[in-house]
């Protein structure tokens, strides 16, 4: 009797599991017509094109360089396998250790606001997955990017190397202190939320250069600021849109 009850329970659990099968996320495997289908690079390229049209062009990003970059960088390879199916969705995604890869539109917008060119030397604070770094690297001459969590920095460096983004150098240290040995920079992009604009980063900006940085506001989010340094060293700050980033944490180590 007990044995029969056990068999019935096993059958019921199997049925429940089977009916939920289409919703189980197996990374880049999706269930199509009851069969598993692995997404191909072509599928991802198609999703990427839709992402650019529907999320980025539709919201007003116009720069051809930026749109080309967003179309070329394989975002799904910067996302953990278990979230890969959502790589091109209109949202940030977890990358482990409590950190996130930003929403595609925010990456595109910040890249456009940074207004960089192929002779620029740029500093990024907050490497994370390395995705924003890859996007920028297709546009600029050289990109230094700083990550405070060693494990993320090492993974991002390996990923960027294997994808041949060869003009990117990843440093592991406190990015709030900048990279004094390589300063000044034509542009600085900060992809973590700062309580205020760090003085050391303003110092490391070239005259005529600009920084894009999310800074805490009073509404539990941040203002995405453009900080411009004029040729005579004056600072001009423009506010763009409210954003939500993980916090910039304090460390002690300055990178060389």
Binding site for ligand SAH (CB under 6 A): 99-102, 125-126, 128-129, 131-132, 146-149, 152, 174-176, 191-192, 246, 248-249, 251
Q: Which is nearer to ligand SAH, 198 or 209 (CB)?
A: 198
3-state secondary structure of 189: strand
Helix axes 41-51, 64-72, angle to 10 degrees: 150
Least gap, CB of 189 to ligand SAH (angstroms): 8
Q: Closer to ligand SAH by CB, 67 or 148: give it.
A: 148
Alpha carbon distances (Å) from 154 to 10, 88, 187, 253 = 44, 24, 24, 16
Report how far residue 174's alpha carbon sits from residue 177's, in angstroms, rounded to the nearest whole number: 6
Q: How far is the CB of 78 from ligand SAH (least distance, A)?
A: 6
Q: Which two tokens stand for residue 207?
A: 């005259």
162 is catalytic: no
- The pair of structure tokens assigned to 25 is 């996320």
Q: How far apart are CA 208 and CA 187, in angstroms?
A: 9
Q: In whole angstroms, how close is the CB of 221 to ligand SAH at the nearest point?
A: 15
| Active-site choice (19, 63, 72, 102) | 102
Q: Which is nearer to ligand SAH, 208 or 247 (CB)?
A: 247
Q: How far apart are CA 35 and CA 44, in angstroms?
A: 19
Closer Cβ to ligand SAH, 191 or 204, answer by number: 191
CB of 23 vs ligand SAH, minimal distance in Å: 27
Q: Phi, psi (5° rounding) for residue 188?
A: -130, 130
Which residues participate in catalysis according to the annotation? 102
């Amino acid at each position: 009797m007990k044995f029969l009850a056990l068999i019935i329970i096993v059958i019921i659990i199997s049925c429940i599991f089977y009916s939920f099968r289409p919703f189980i996320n197996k990374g880049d495997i999706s269930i199509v017509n009851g069969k598993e289908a692995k997404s191909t690079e072509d599928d991802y390229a198609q999703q990427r094109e839709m992402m650019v049209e529907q999320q980025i062009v539709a919201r007003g990003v116009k720069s051809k360089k930026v749109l080309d970059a967003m179309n070329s960088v394989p975002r799904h390879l910067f996302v953990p396998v278990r979230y890969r199916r959502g790589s091109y969705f209109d949202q940030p995604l977890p990358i482990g250790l409590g950190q996130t890869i930003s929403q595609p539109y925010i990456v595109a917008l910040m890249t456009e606001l940074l207004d960089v060119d192929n002779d620029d030397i740029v500093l990024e604070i907050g490497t994370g997955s390395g995705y924003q770094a890859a996007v920028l690297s297709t546009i600029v001459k050289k990109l230094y990017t700083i990550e405070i969590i060693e494990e993320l920095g090492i993974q991002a460096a390996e990923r960027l190397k294997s994808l041949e983004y060869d003009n990117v150098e990843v440093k592991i240290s406190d990015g709030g202190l900048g990279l004094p040995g390589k300063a000044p920079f034509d542009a600085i992009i900060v992809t973590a939320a700062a309580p205020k604009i760090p003085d050391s980063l303003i110092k490391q900006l070239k005259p005529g250069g600009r920084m894009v940085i999310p800074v805490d506001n009073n509404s539990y989010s941040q203002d995405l600021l453009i900080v411009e340094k004029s040729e005579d060293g004056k600072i001009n700050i423009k506010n763009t849109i409210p954003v939500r980033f993980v916090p910039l944490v304090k460390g002690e180590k300055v990178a060389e």
